[in-house]
Chain A
Amino acid sequence: MKTDAKPARTARSRKPGSWKKLGWVLFFLLPSAVPLLIFTLIPMVSSLWVSLHRWNLISPMEWVGLGNYANLLGDEMTRRVFLHTLIYVAGYLPLVYVGGLALALALNQKLKGRSFLRATYFLPVVTSWVVVALVWKWLLNPSNGLVNQVLGAIGLPEPGWWTDPQWALPAVILSSAWKDLGFVMVILLAGLQAIPSDLYEAAKVDGSSAWQRFWRVTLPLLSPSTFFVVVISLINGFQVFDQVYVMTGGGPAGSSQVVVGQIYDLTFRYGRAGEASALSWILFAVILVITVVQIRGQRRWVHYA
């Protein structure tokens, strides 16, 4: 079994066992390959095909070539939904990273009730977006929501949150950061625990302050985890949908509409499936470019111990 592993390249000459080997390959791979083929790969290809047509899901498809892409790129609405998505990511990422890092550092200490606290911070992560969005929608209710009652009680202005075009997106960003904090915390905790403690001992012997140890030891050695968090958060951030759909529905006046919300509306509200497919491929291209740029750029700042 093992001896014929290496010269597999020359295995063109049918060895007696090679049919049996193929059988094992099929046995182990088909259960995942067939569903992935039918429910991911084929839809991927057909999505490209749909994006080249004008189609309302019912009448016959009409070939428009790259027309959908051209329309979308020239459309004011596309620019708006991408801008909103960008604002969302730009607000969300620093909040979850700084918050998650502070939490990870705190909960990496020897504290009583540490695992209870970790579980508490992780609870919002496992809770469905719909529930979180509903709860926050209600807490942030401009007229009688708890947050505004508290703000009013201490004499601060009470924003219109999801009824005011200026505040709808910040409301979504805040509740998203609140929900995902625990996820970032867990990833960074795992990273912190991988840092050898003798590095801290050595730094201490050299007379460095806690602050210096944080900047010179912790942060650089945490850079692989940071990299993972940033890549994942950007990918997820550009795909934001559930919380927007439930909290604001993209409103008021389209002020919080994001790219995926637009894809959904184009397909199921306006019957413009071709443009929706094209928009989803534009979104994918944007995410892909950003991810590739990050992977290329990681050598500048990510240090693997």
Chain B
Amino acid sequence: MRDTRSLPAKLALYAAVLAGAVIMLFPFLWTVITSITPEGSLADGPKLVVDDPTLNAYRTLLDAIPMWRIMLNSLGIAIASTLLQLVTGAMAAYGFARLHFPLKNVVFGFYLATLMVPLQVLVVPLFIEMKTLNLQDTYFALLAPTIASAFGVFLLRQAVTAVPLELDEAATIDGAGHLRIFTTIVLPLIRPALATVAVFAFMGSWNSFLWPLVVIRSPEFMTLPLGLSTLQGQFTTQWDVVMAGSVVSIVPIAIVYLLAQRHIIAGVAHTGIK
């Protein structure tokens, strides 16, 4: 399925792919443009060139909601939940792939069962659990459901299984225990899978909406999606402010994605999702 294509066919392909890319990027471009357009001229309709760009919307945004706090909340929770999922996931993956214990399949079955239950089923009782423990409106409540992810365990177990057992045996003969084998042999070899889990974990936390919506009330514990959604009602839709908030929330996740990009396709291909 490569080369030996006629020039017109190739040009047509380029044209189609680029047109598609424009459709993908345009809303984002538009978001940026709107965020720097002076408030009054928005009603006049779409313009690609802004006559007198302004950062007013960003200033209004900072006044309207505790934006820095909300950014830091999102970032902190996303990083914490990513690290926790990597640690708990990799350890469990090693446990399931390398240790032998009775009822292992049953225990693994429980992990898989939790994978199949959608968040929606859990939202009500989880909310009640937090309310009972008086943990509403706390960072811990935001973090709790994402400390361990069965999806991560599942993906990483596949990766650990793919690591040749001979490596473990050689290390055992050299006197290494489980901890040494885990940290010095297994972890480095499953890096692509770890990167994939990290991206999914970060994305999941950064973008999650339903759970923060349920468990968070006060602005100082809000995360970005929640903070942005509250902007909607607060200003009978001051779109330039909403779009400024959108820009602020897209930049970090775009950076994370660009950093991890090359691992993703490889990660997807190698971890058995395909």
Residues of A at the B interface (CB closer than 8 Å) are: 1-2, 5, 8, 11, 21-22, 24-25, 27-29, 31-33, 35-36, 38-44, 46-47, 50, 57, 103, 105-111, 115, 117-124, 126-132, 134-136, 138-139, 144, 146, 149, 178, 181-182, 186-187, 189-191, 193-194, 197, 200, 213, 218, 224-225, 228, 235, 239, 241-242, 245-246, 259-260, 263-264, 267-268, 273, 276-277, 280-281, 283-284, 287-288, 291
Contact = CB atoms under 8 A, between A and B. Distances in A.
A119 B262 CA distance: 10
Contacts of A259: 120
B45 A200 contact: no
B114 interface: yes
Contact of A117 (B21, B102, B120, B131): B21
Given A193-B265, A242-B209, 11 more contacts: A2-B172, A28-B95, A39-B144, A42-B125, A44-B125, A47-B122, A105-B1, A123-B28, A132-B27, A241-B120, A264-B123
B254 to A, nearest CB: 6
Interface of A is mostly: helix
Contacts of B207: 126-130
Contacts of A138: 34, 237, 239, 242-243
A255 B57 CA distance: 33
B1 A213 contact: yes
A45 to B, nearest CB: 8
B95 A40 contact: no
Q: Which of A130, A135, A149, A213 has the most CB of B within 10 A?
A: A130
Given A119-B258, A123-B254, A146-B30, A131 B148 contact: no
B139 interface: no
B210 A190 contact: no
Q: Which of A31, A178, A197, A288 has the most CB of B within 10 A?
A: A31
Interface in B214-237: 214, 224-226, 228-229, 232, 237
B101 A134 contact: no
Nearest to B225: A130
Nearest to B169: A2
A32 B16 CA distance: 46
Given A31-B87, A186-B265, A190-B265, A36 B114 contact: yes
B120 A280 contact: yes
Nearest to B147: A35
A28 B182 CA distance: 10
Nearest to A243: B209
Interface in B245-264: 246, 249-250, 253-254, 256-258, 261-262, 264
B174 interface: no
B273 A228 contact: yes
B94 interface: yes
B7 to A, nearest CB: 14
B31 A135 contact: yes
Nearest to B122: A43
A139 B253 contact: no
10 contacts: A1-B172, A21-B99, A33-B107, A50-B124, A50-B128, A105-B1, A129-B225, A132-B27, A239-B118, A267-B124
A239 B274 contact: no
A148 to B, nearest CB: 11
A33 B102 CA distance: 16
A130 B229 contact: yes
A25 B273 CA distance: 27
A233 B246 CA distance: 26
Given A46-B125, A187-B273, A128 B265 contact: no
B88 A32 contact: yes
Contacts, number: 281
Interface of B: 1-3, 5, 13-14, 16-18, 20-21, 23-25, 27-28, 30-31, 34, 43, 45-46, 87-89, 91-92, 94-96, 99-102, 107, 110-111, 113-114, 116-129, 131, 144-145, 147-148, 150, 153, 165, 168-169, 172, 178, 182, 203, 206-207, 209-210, 213-214, 224-226, 228-229, 232, 237, 239, 242-243, 246, 249-250, 253-254, 256-258, 261-262, 264-265, 268-269, 273-274
A189 to B, nearest CB: 6
Contacts of B145: 39-40
Contact of A29 (B91, B125, B268): B91
A127 B250 contact: yes
Closest 6 CB pairs of A and B: A28-B95, A130-B225, A43-B125, A32-B148, A35-B147, A128-B207
A149 B120 contact: no
Q: Which of A106, A118, A131 has the most CB of B within 10 A?
A: A131
A139 B92 contact: no
A134 B232 contact: yes
Contacts of B99: 21, 24-25, 28
